[in-house]
Amino acid sequence: MNMHSTAPHAVAPVSSAPKNATKWSIEAIEALFELPFNDLVWRAQSAHRAHFDPNGIQLSTLLSVKTGGCPEDCGYCPQSARHPTAVAAQAILSTEAVLAAAQAAKAAGASRFCMGAAWRSPKERDLNAVIDMIEGVRALGLETCATLGMLKPEQAERLKQSGLDYYNHNLDTAREFYGEVIHTREYQDRLDTLAAVREAGMHVCCGGIVGMGETRRMRAGLLFELANLDPVPESVPINLLVQVEGTPLHGTEALDPFEFVRTIACARITMPASRVRLSAGRESLSDEMQALCFLAGANSIFYGEKLLTTGNPDVQRDQRLFERLGLHAE
């Protein structure tokens, strides 16, 4: 298996972003969740094959370019300055350090390099620094993605002009549960940032987190919000809560792994032309459970040893799993 790609596939223009002719209701998505497991996975795999190579996986690597000290109070996040976690604040990395990490990610087979910063929203000096990083990463032949918090329209336009391909800004959960997890940013704030990203002409990476104590209907509610964005996000990261001591959600009852697979399957059915990514929490999934997720329509992973501040399966383990399953990097 060749895990090393000389260059990523060209990023499609935003005008070809996935459209979703079906307008989903929460009740219809709940009905998908209720299907017998085999029937649900069959439907998801059928939708997957209609739009993608069933054995191709897109590889992304995520680097925290500025860690900790965030003023937000997101209940899952160890980078919040409001939570007593072991994560120490770290100033923004140098462009040289970021480009070295990007080069290593490319050598390991990643086609997209994502840069994350723990800000509520970037200041002008912060944006200038990240733009230097974006330009350098693009020069290496990698797709670029950034997650920097809330954006104003003019900031989104500057990032687009710098060559940023994707902007990540997750909805996190359903509207009705959002206020149980986050109090320092409104749901509409997130939608406004997504609108600014689209208006600037960038691709959208937007998903959420499951296992935070939400109900199945709330998981359906998250997918309802995502599937009814117009156009739908090109990338949909589905994160499984990583419980970090000191965060308010530490100690939450763990989500049934099969419910996680159901969530992946429902994401694939409701957003058939989008990349569905296994993101945070993958370290806790067995190889067998990851294989079920791929069968259910996941076709992108975060690849590397760390996701911002939490662990991730190492590259060698992923390569062995791909070889056992007959999967290949795209």
Residues annotated as catalytic are 70, 74, 77, 114, 145, 205, 277
Query: Burial, 41: exposed, middle or buried (Cβ in 10 Å; 0-12, 13-18, 19+)?
Result: buried
d(CA 266, CA 24): 11
> The tokens of 33 are what?
């969740």
d(CA 277, CA 52): 14
Q: How many other CB atoms sit within 10 Å of the CB of residue 128?
A: 12
> The tokens of 108 are what?
């390991």
